[in-house]
Amino acid sequence: MVELRNITKDMMTVVEGSYAVAHATKVCKPNVISAYPITPQTHIVEELSQFIADGEIENCDYINVESEFSALSTLVGSSATGARTYSSTTSQGLALMHEVLFNASGMRLPIVVTVVNRALSAPINIWNDQQDSVSERDSGWIQLYAEDVQEAADMVAQAYKVGEDPDVMLPVMVCMDGFLLSHVYEPVVLLEEDLIDDYLLPFDPKYKLDPKDPKTFGAFAPPASYTEFRYAQEQAMSAALDKIEKAADDFYDVFGRYYGGLIDEYKTDDADIIIMAKGSIIGTIRDVIDNLRENGVKVGLLKVRALRPFPKDAIKEVVKDSSVVITLDKNISPGVNEGALCTETKACMYNSDINVPVIGYMIGLGGRDIPEDTIENIVDEAKEVINSGISTESQFTDLREDLI
């Protein structure tokens, strides 16, 4: 359950979401920031540039590059020397980083990148869905998804805490919905600089590039050894499950703000119908649940904060006594006709003793509005599944027949 302890109005400042994330990054004391503009993440690196110009970030190199490929490549080299690194990107920019994403993870470099989620082209679309980051879920990066601006900012510190842990050492994407969170102005508590040292230790990796102690990163691996590198990577992802939970708990102890660990729950204890989702849609779902509960509908929310590592055990524990699970995905895997949450939720329950039907909906693609009545209609369809069984396993929502 989301909890904000001892927060008063005088502690809050109305800022743009991008500013809150940039400020959180500043407070975490990065040593290298790489920047390449692309809508809607540009405001983050612009704010960081201003912080650098004003002398508010010490011992930090701000590097303007010629592409997103170069932006991440710069951080790979920097992180390998023991620097704490940061960048932000979105959509086609993240896609251009694709090759380097695997390099960063394979070399176990805990780079943090804020992904301001935006639809992928073609056709060209600058509005929000989560196809960009979801398409990179197999690149070996931890992926965390924020519900609101406060969580997106606070997740930056949690991302460094998790990624830089010696048992993990993996890069982290902090994902926030484009425009809906990056450009909205709302009251937040800016990450407190006087508390960050109690939460986040300086980055001091065991292995780093040093001319006085030469090492090789990303070396050639023949078939006799490559599998073991991938095994170690998977073991690190498994270790991150507990580390994400601990980072959230520790953050609450220091800052008094909690958003869940791997997941968060809302009114799931007696729920017949459980809605699963991630990102900014969560707020709308909470309102719908409150309205439906007043009318006697037992519906609850399972908010997914971590898509990677996927919290299989936590999800199974929440849904095991429900009658039906709804997954809402701002992405689609063409040819499967499902979103990632739908596919992976079904997979994690397969071969278990949990036999709860899962129905999926692709929703909000390309920034299409998601009104409350759309979610209410989906819940009505879930009631029919309870009564009559599944007729359609996964489907698009709010299709415009006049455009088909």
DSSP string for 10-49:
GG-EEEEHHHHHHHHHHHT--SEEEE---TTTHHHHHHHH
Same domain, yes or no: 321 and 236? no
| Among candidate residues 209, 229, 258, the one where a domain is terminated | 258
Same domain, yes or no: 153 and 91? yes
| Among candidate residues 211, 242, 258, the one where a domain is terminated | 258
Position 1 scores a pLDDT of: 67
pLDDT by residue for the chain (404 residues), tens digit each? 677 887 888 899 999 999 999 999 999 999 999 999 999 999 999 999 999 999 999 999 999 999 999 999 999 999 999 999 999 999 999 999 999 999 999 999 999 999 999 999 999 999 999 999 999 999 999 999 999 999 999 999 999 999 999 999 999 999 999 999 999 999 999 999 999 999 999 999 999 999 999 999 999 999 999 999 999 999 999 999 999 999 999 999 999 999 999 999 999 999 999 999 999 999 999 999 999 999 999 999 999 999 999 999 999 999 999 999 999 999 999 999 999 999 999 999 999 999 999 999 999 999 999 999 999 999 999 999 999 999 999 999 999 999 99
Range of the structural domain that residue 308 is part of: 263-403
Closest among 248, 274, 251 to 261, alpha carbons compared: 248
**What is d(CA 360, CA 173) in angstroms, rounded to the nearest whole number?**
24
Same domain, yes or no: 103 and 238? yes
| 143 within 8 A of 163, measured Cβ to Cβ | no
For residue 144, how far is the Cα from the chain centroid? 3
Same domain, yes or no: 326 and 237? no
C-alpha angle with apex 359: 353 to 361, nearest 5 degrees? 145
Sheet bearing 112-117, strands edge to edge: 61-64, 32-35, 85-89, 112-117, 172-177, 142-145, 306-308
User: Which pTM was predicted?
Assistant: 0.97
Same domain, yes or no: 305 and 231? no
| Among candidate residues 258, 293, 309, the one where a domain is terminated | 258
Place of tokens 């790489």: 34
**What is d(CA 214, CA 203) in angstroms, rounded to the nearest whole number?**
19
Question: How many folded domains does the chain comprise?
Answer: 2
- What CATH number is given to the structural domain containing 281? 3.40.50.920
Position 161 scores a pLDDT of: 98
Position 213 scores a pLDDT of: 93
**What is d(CA 16, CA 43) in angstroms, rounded to the nearest whole number?**
9
**What is d(CA 241, CA 262) in angstroms, rounded to the nearest whole number?**
7
Count how many Cα atoms sit within 13 Å of the Cα of residue 45 in the half-sphere of its side chain. Answer: 28
